[in-house]
Each structure stands twice: as structure tokens, then as C-alpha cells.
Amino acid sequence: MPDRETTSQAPAPRVSARAAALPREALGIASGYAFSGPALHLGALLWDGRCLPDARIRVPLAMLNRHGLVAGATGSGKTTTLQLIAEQLSAQGVPVFLADIKGDLSGMAAPGRADAPVEGRAREVDQRWTGTGFPAEYYALGGIGRGIPIRATVTGFGPVLLARVLRLNRTQEQSLALIFHYADAKGLELVDLKDLRAVVTFLTSDEGRQELKTVGGLSAATAGVILRSLTAFEAQGASGFFGEPEFDTAELLRTGEDGRGIVSVLELNAVQDRPRLFSTFLMWLLADLFHDLPEVGDVDKPRLVFFLDEAHLLFDDASEVFLESITRTVRLIRSKGVGVFFVTQTPNDVPADVLAQLGNRVQHALRAFTPDDQKALNATVRTFPRAPYDLGEVLTNLGTGEAVVTVLNEKGVPTPVAATRLRAPESLMGPVGQEALERAVAGSPLYGRYARAVDRESAYERPAGGGRGAKGPDEMRDAMRRETPGEPVREQPSAVEQAVGSGVFTSPARSVGTQIGREITRSLFGTARRPGRRRR
């Protein structure tokens, strides 16, 4: 049910008659936000110490797949801003994904409370505020926390992302890719961590050493390092994040019966002490969407807008391969109708190649208490277009719920920089009660699909010494060398040439024909999907 004001699609090519009476400089800024098509309302212009409710600051709906940045110091209102944007997207039929690290966003499904601060803000910005809840689904990584479990298979997660969570160096990362290639070629299902551990164990055993020689460039010593890292990772309780049923990211693209976009809230509060793990899982979700969605080019509205909170965690100690993959994903996923917003403290937290692709900017207050703070402030100012006021001074004097804004207009041109007093969200600003959250999770149609983990036969059951139903060494070697019946034995390039030289790290997608007739297509991060998986 679209909101009567925040989702208005009435043409507004020019500023209103009331806005025409604004000071000349303020009128020039307001004119840059007078879009004719559907738009999200962010707030009202701040000028010369006053809030000008007739000068509305908006962002065109069609530009939300051009990505964005929401930045600012702790306590400046970033979470409230992404909630404000998310609920307006939902109202216009756009699904939204939110990473909820602090546990503050579960209130999206509940109407907000009309207290004095909310009513005061609504009057200041001329907002007809009505408490409104939005359709929401709640998820939790591996079922740790309150939400529908999100799991990935090890095969689907891929070597680049797994190398990051295992803290492998560049050489070890390449070796892990060779192991994945070996498993792909032999038709070994890597469903969970014990599957991967079984394959590595087999390759380093007496029975598997001959097989190890066929995986060019992989030494027994490096395989041992990977095995120890994997064992330590499992000891930290990471096993629950990998397995089946694997989450289908098409679930994130749904709309409700009333046409509003469903807001998918991933609760990360229970795993916030493992930032490398959950930030990498967020990239898996995004890479998986990129892998499967068709090209759509420019669209009237995004298919999904994806908010990455605490975005700096993605880039901390990231390998060159990982950074390149992020950059390419952000650049290319726009054409698939997906917008990505990075939420962090300063633009300096985001690499320049990624920052250059973020067309929509909402910059909350920055503090300049130390020389490093001042340096970060100066760097932030330089990332904005020219402004009619001293941005350094404005950014240090913004209050909570105020921000400096510039977005892309309907032609893709940056709008004038505008100091803005932001609107109040209409949903609950804070978490819902535990009982209400548990009812929402249990009542979801997705709960029965993903709640219970499934442990079927996979690579763990196949290698020698691997566990239940394990085959003997000779049988295992024969099975792993067996060609597809009726197919001739073919001369193949070395594993190094196939897994590294052909670009598993740099090619947008590659297909690997396997010896048992299987085909795995790996995307930017080396992520993959098994054939026959349900898609919508």
C-alpha cells in the first residue's frame, strides 16, 4: 500500500510556487531536486541556519541502482537514514536487504510511535507522518540468532570467499582454488566443511598423494596449512554456516500480496564478534545474485536494493583478488537492476575504485577532534561536488538526523550539494519484542524450507577414511578417475592452467566441464551453483 506522500508519482518538473519564494541560492539547490518521475523523499533543505520545508530533497527511484553511500560518525543517524530509505523503497514495490548488525532494524515490520521528537521533526520538514509497518522477513546466519537460517554450500561459497574467512595468504588462496577445481572435476560434492576437509585429507594421505601430483602447483605442505586452518575454523563453531538447504537468494526479490517490496533483515547481532565471517557472507549473497540475475540495463525502479552496514569490515585486510572482485561486482551488478549502498563512518573506509561508483551520497556529521579526524574530514569534502557553502564547517556542525546530500538526477548528473534535515521513518525505530520476532519467523512460509539442516551423502562419505560408508582406497581412486561412460579419455590442460590461468579469479563467469558430465559455472568470487537448483 503506497504511502500517499513519500511515494507520490505526480509530475513535479518544477519547484512549487511556495518554493519559488526561497532565497536565490536555496532556490537553485531546490531546483536540482525537482524531479518529474517517482522519487524518494529524504528531507528538507537547511540554509543559513533554517530548515526550509518547501525545498524538498529527493532521490529519483530509477537512480537507486546506481549505488550509494551513507556515512557519518557514530550516533549521527546512519541507521535511521537507511531505515527511511528502505521503507520508501518497500512502499514503491522494491525489495530491500538490510544487514542488521546492532539488532536495531527488526522494527521495520511494526508501526512507529508518534512521540514528541517524531512529531516535531515531521512539522519541521512538512512531512505528513503516519506510523506504518512494512512486510519483513528475518534471517540469521547458520541459524545463530533469531531468524530463518541462511546457509551456503562450500561449493557455492567458492574458494575466494572461503580463503578470506580462513585467513589464507595469496599462495594458499590459489592452492585452495586448485582443490576446488579438483573436486569440481571429480564430481565431489562439497556441501559442508567436513566435505572439504575430507578431500584435503585424502589428497595429503598415502592413498591420495598420487592424485595430489595431478593438481599442479599444490604442495603437501600448503595442503596441510589449509587443513589446519579449516580445522581451527570448525573449532570456532563455523560449521553451522555451511550446508544444506542452501539459501536461494531469489527469496530476496519477493514482493508482498499488497505489492510492497519485502524487507529482508539479516540479524548479525549474535555473530558481530566475527566480522570477517559475516561481511564475507554478505558478499556471497551479492555475488550469488550477480551470478543468477539476467541483464536488464536501465530500469524504472531497482529489482533490489542491498544495504551493507559496517562496510569497512569488507575491506579490512582484504586480498587484492577480493578487492578486485568487489569492485567488479559493484560495477556490473547495476545492469542487473540491483543497487548497493555502503554504510560506514567515512568515505575513506571505501576503496577509491568502489567509491567512484557510488552515485548517491548521504553524509552525516563528522568529528574533527584529532589531526587524523581533520585529515579524514578534508578528504571527505574533496569527494563532493562544489558546494555553495563551507562543507568542512557544515559537516562538523550537523545535528543527529541531518546530512549533506548529493544524488544523481534523472539524467544521471549529480545534483547540487544540499545540507538536509532528514525525515522521520514511519516504522518503529528500534527492535520489536522477542516474542513478536519469534512469531514472525515461525509464521514465515520460508521457515519450513530452511529451518532444518540436511546432511546428505557428499564428499565426506566418498574419500577413503572419510566416514560413514567410506569406500576403500582403490575404489575411491577408481571412482575419482572414472570417465563418463561412452566418453573417450581426453588430454586435458594442467590444473594450474585450468583453475588459475583461465581466470577463475578474474573472469566474470567460467564453465568447467567435468569428467562425470557435470558443469559448474563460477562467478566473480568463484561462487557456484549446482545444476538443477530451484530458481524463480
369 phi and psi, to 5 degrees? -85, -20
**DSSP category for residue 454:** B
Helices (DSSP H) in 207-351: which residue ranges?
209-214, 220-235, 275-292, 312-315, 320-333
The one-letter amino acid code at 202 reads F
pLDDT of residue 273: 82
Q: Is residue 140 within 8 Å of residue 150, measured between CB atoms?
A: yes
Q: What mean pLDDT comes out for the span 194-222?
A: 81
Q: Is residue 363 within 8 Å of residue 350, measured between CB atoms?
A: no
DSSP 174-232: HHHHHHHHHHHHHT----SHHHHHHHHHHHTSTTTHHHHHHSTT--HHHHHHHHHHHHH
pLDDT of residue 459: 56
pLDDT in tens, 486-495: 333 333 333 3
Query: The pTM is what?
Result: 0.83
pLDDT of residue 526: 67
* pLDDT tier, 511 (very low <50, low <70, confident <90, very high otherwise): very low
Q: Which residue has the higher pLDDT, 188 or 400?
A: 400
Alpha carbons 412 and 372: distance in angstroms, whole number:
34
State the burial class of residue 504 (Cβ atoms within 10 Å of its Cβ: 0-12, 13-18, 19+): buried
pLDDT of residue 291: 85
**C-alpha pair distances (Å), 163 with each of 27, 173, 177, 204, 355:** 52, 5, 9, 19, 25
Helix or strand holding residue 165 (H, E): helix 159-165
Q: What mean pLDDT comes out for the span 370-394?
A: 89
pLDDT in tens, 88-115: 999 999 999 999 988 889 999 999 999 9
User: Under DSSP, is residue 321 helix (H, G, I), strand (E, B) or coil?
Assistant: helix
pLDDT in tens, 337-359: 999 999 999 998 999 999 999 99
* pLDDT tier, 237 (very low <50, low <70, confident <90, very high otherwise): confident
Alpha carbons 383 and 350: distance in angstroms, whole number:
12
User: Under DSSP, is residue 512 helix (H, G, I), strand (E, B) or coil?
Assistant: strand
DSSP 375-393: HHHHHHHHTSPP-SS-HHH
pLDDT of residue 457: 61
Q: What mean pLDDT comes out for the span 406-432?
A: 95
Cell of residue 521, nine digits? 559455472
pLDDT in tens, 156-177: 999 989 999 999 998 899 889 8
**Range picked from 85-89, 139-143, 213-217, 508-512 for highest mean pLDDT:** 85-89
pLDDT of residue 95: 98
